[in-house]
Amino acid sequence: MPRIEFVHVVDLKNQHITVSRVIVFLVANVTLESLQTDVTETTADAVVLVKVNGIRERSIYVNVSTYDVSALAVLNDYEAKSELVTLQSNSFQLPFLVRILDDNVVENTEEFGIRVTSSDPQVNVVNGNILVSITDNDKIGLSIGQIVYRVKETDGSVSVEVVVTGETAVDIAGSMLRTVDETAKSPDDYTSVVQNLEIMLGENKKMLQ
């Protein structure tokens, strides 16, 4: 790192000269800056910039690594990464890329973190943590189990199977099953039904009556 020297010269009646030096070492400030704090699962990489300011005459080294918050690397939400980043004396920023994984599972929005650390006494880490949110874009499919259900008027009711395709790690609400008149008319031929569907974690079908 560069240094600044303050030199003080004293002349005491031409007898001798005293020179004193005070040496001050400059400190480099390192920060993290995210280009994307919100990404989707289809985003290839989340990009974070490792930035440094201050005059330098040598390279500095910082450790940059990911850590789990609600997104978990072991569950294939993203690829865990740890890297020793070298910032040359003429370099003021370098990108740190984290691979985002599309797991084809319906999930809530999840977060992971990126942190920078350094054991160099001449490196001051400022804003050394950043959180990145992963917005899920996966969907499940819903379909009726069969095209035609045949019943008698004396049967009283019919059970309809709703088939779930895809995988979910959370409960999903908001879908609806309802009857629609064709040749049979409500209320003369049947009782109309409007029923909310809630797909629970791990379900692959539902029976509705």
| Residue 123 pLDDT grade (very low, low, confident, very high; cuts 50, 70, 90) | confident
pLDDT band at 8 (very low <50, low <70, confident <90, very high): very low
We find that the CATH architecture of domain 28-135 is: Sandwich (2.60)
In tens, the pLDDT along 35-93 reads 667 888 888 899 999 988 877 788 888 999 999 999 999 989 999 999 999 989 888 89
Note the pLDDT of residue 70: 93
pLDDT at 145 over 50: yes
What pLDDT does residue 154 have?
A: 83
Q: Are 173 and 196 in contact (CB under 8 A)?
A: yes
When pLDDT is averaged across residues 117-145 and rounded to a whole number, the result is 86
Summarize pLDDT for 151-199 with one digit per residue, the tens: 888 888 888 888 888 778 777 777 888 888 888 888 888 888 888 878 8
pLDDT reported for residue 26 = 55
Domain boundaries, the chain: 28-135, 141-208
Q: Specify the pLDDT at position 13.
A: 53
Dihedral sign for Cα 105, 107, 109, 114, please.
negative
